[in-house]
Amino acid sequence: MATTQFRIIGGKPLHGQVRCEGAKNAALPIMAAALLASEPVHLQNVPQLTDIATQSKLLRRLGLAVSIERTCEKPLEMTLETMDAQPVVAPESCVRQMRASFCVLGPLLARRRKAVVPLPGGCRIGDRPVDLHWKGLAALGADLRLEHGCVVAEARRLTGATIELSGPRGPSVTGTANVMSAAVLARGVTILRDAALEPEIVDLGCFLTALGAKIEGLGTSTLRIEGVEQLGGARHRLIPDRIEAATLLLAAAITRGSATVLDVRPDHLQTVLEKLRAAGAAVDVGADRVSIAATGPVQPASVIAEPFPGLPTDVQAQWTALMSLADGTCTVQDLVFSGRFSHVAELNRLGACIACRDDIATINGVPRLEGTSVAASDLRASAALVLAGLAADGPTTVEHIHHLDRGYQRLDEKLRRLGAQIERIGLPVESAL
């Protein structure tokens, strides 16, 4: 089957300015948490992505009316409202497509007292267990079992508890989202230790607070949640997507260009910006914009992908692409997803010189990459291949762009606005929201 692909003629420095969309990883758990609300929820700055379409479809199947207001050139506004509070079974087709749909588990359980959610699919980036979600909900008093590949969770009323949520690789982002979203309606106080610190979790906490939840400690590793009887509705603006912003800045850096990314939260990007400076780029930060200018050679800058505030694992592949052109040797380690290196073989096809061992890639920088045909295998790996294609000499084809469309709103259009020669071949980006 022919898949959507990007054809890129690389070697041209990018210049100009683009805006950053709302954060996918904030939108998805917040949309799921709309199941908790007893009045309408209005979300602003919603990105137009296939993952958002998947989550909308899932929530409609769970009895929510999801309506979308599209105003030309402006981000989407979305209204979610419960029409039928009976459904508790999440359809397998949606959950298998996207791991974040597992975030309906906590809200369904808390509000409807039962949830049947298939074990998730999503990007193939190694072993992705859900034991922490399970442990947290069980500690709140839920009865959980696995039946025919589905998690079945039931509870007459959840009860607050003290829960340690850290696993062998640190806190879980969507695990924190699930347990926090359930605890807001539990009887009594929940103390969540080793909670994820990611800005998307803070955004979810702000949204829940706007609904009427009582949460203290957002942005720290210990959350104190006092359960309430009922939540109302809210109007909430999603935070900017720090991963999209980082990808656009790295696109400018890898082409030795300059760009300004507007509508960002620089405080969410600190480690990425520090590392870009270490790689030789000039970075200038405004209140809600970041500008980058990269002229000299790429300096080798080793990174370790870690939970926030460390370098995000979702930027690891793009960083590896940038370092493939470094003037020297460096390493990229991923402490969050040790097996997340599927992009390395494809980068090597473009002429990079990268060797992987365990969770570390050792990169011997090369002076140039050469265009060829490469295939994306997950969302951020595809972004890395697009960046490498922008820097490579001659034409590059990146196959399986449906992975990229899950998390980047029309990346090809944004890159063209910055002067890239990039063309989409095949299906237009799905906008079946």
Q: Report the site for ligand UD1 in 280-319 (rule: CB under 6 A).
A: 312-314
Binding residues for ligand UD1, rule CB under 6 A, total 23
When the beta carbons of 130 and 186 are compared against ligand UD1, the nearer one is 130
**Which of the residues are catalytic?**
123
Stretch of 123-131, 138-146, 209-217, 222-230 lying at the interface with ligand UD1 (CB under 6 A):
123-131
Q: Which of 207, 319, 337, 341: binder of ligand UD1 (CB under 6 A)?
A: 337
Using rule CB under 6 A, residue 100 touches ligand UD1:
yes
When the beta carbons of 49 and 392 are compared against ligand UD1, the nearer one is 49
- Nearest CA to 320 out of 232, 384, 406 is that of 384
Q: Which of 12, 15, 113, 169: binder of ligand UD1 (CB under 6 A)?
A: 169
Using rule CB under 6 A, residue 128 touches ligand UD1:
yes
Stretch of 7-15, 56-64, 170-178, 257-265 lying at the interface with ligand UD1 (CB under 6 A):
170-178
CB 79 → ligand UD1: shortest distance, Å? 22
CB 407 → ligand UD1: shortest distance, Å? 8
Q: Which of 108, 336, 352, 387: binder of ligand UD1 (CB under 6 A)?
A: 336
Using rule CB under 6 A, residue 406 touches ligand UD1:
no
CB 55 → ligand UD1: shortest distance, Å? 10
When the beta carbons of 5 and 174 are compared against ligand UD1, the nearer one is 174
Using rule CB under 6 A, residue 342 touches ligand UD1:
no
When the beta carbons of 99 and 424 are compared against ligand UD1, the nearer one is 99
Q: Which of 39, 69, 131, 423: binder of ligand UD1 (CB under 6 A)?
A: 131
Q: Report yes or no: 323 and 365 within 8 Å, Cβ to Cβ.
A: yes
Using rule CB under 6 A, residue 104 touches ligand UD1:
no
CB 25 → ligand UD1: shortest distance, Å? 4
Using rule CB under 6 A, residue 52 touches ligand UD1:
no
Q: Report yes or no: 98 and 51 within 8 Å, Cβ to Cβ.
A: yes
When the beta carbons of 169 and 277 are compared against ligand UD1, the nearer one is 169
CA pair distance 132, 209, nearest whole angstrom:
23
Q: Which of 111, 133, 256, 403: binder of ligand UD1 (CB under 6 A)?
A: 133
Using rule CB under 6 A, residue 394 touches ligand UD1:
no
Using rule CB under 6 A, residue 130 touches ligand UD1:
yes
Q: Report yes or no: 390 and 10 within 8 Å, Cβ to Cβ.
A: yes
Using rule CB under 6 A, residue 141 touches ligand UD1:
no
Using rule CB under 6 A, residue 174 touches ligand UD1:
yes
Stretch of 37-45, 173-181, 285-293, 357-365 lying at the interface with ligand UD1 (CB under 6 A):
173-181
Secondary structure, 3-state, the chain = CCCCEEEEECCCCCEEEEECCECHHHHHHHHHHHHHECCCEEEEEECCCHHHHHHHHHHHHCCEEEEEECCCCCCEEEEEEECCCCCCECCHHHHHHCHHHHHHHHHHHHHHCEEEEECCCCCCCCCCCCHHHHHHHHHCCCEEEEECCEEEEECCCCECCEEECCECCECCHHHHHHHHHHHCCCECEEEEECCCCCHHHHHHHHHHHHHCCEEECCCCCCEEEECCCCECCEEEECCECHHHHHHHHHHHHHCCCEEEEECCCHHHCHHHHHHHHHCCCEEEECCCEEEEECCCCCCCCCEEECCCCCECHHHHHHHHHHHCCCCCEEEEEECCCCCCCHHHHHHHHCCCCEEEECCEEEEECCCCCECCEEECCCHHHHHHHHHHHHHCECEEEEECCHHHHCCCCCHHHHHHHCCCEEEEECCCCCCCC
Strands 64-69 and 76-82 turn out to be: antiparallel
Q: Which of 132, 208, 245, 326: binder of ligand UD1 (CB under 6 A)?
A: 132
Residues that bind ligand UD1 (CB under 6 A): 25, 28, 99-100, 127-133, 167, 169, 172-175, 200, 312-314, 336-337
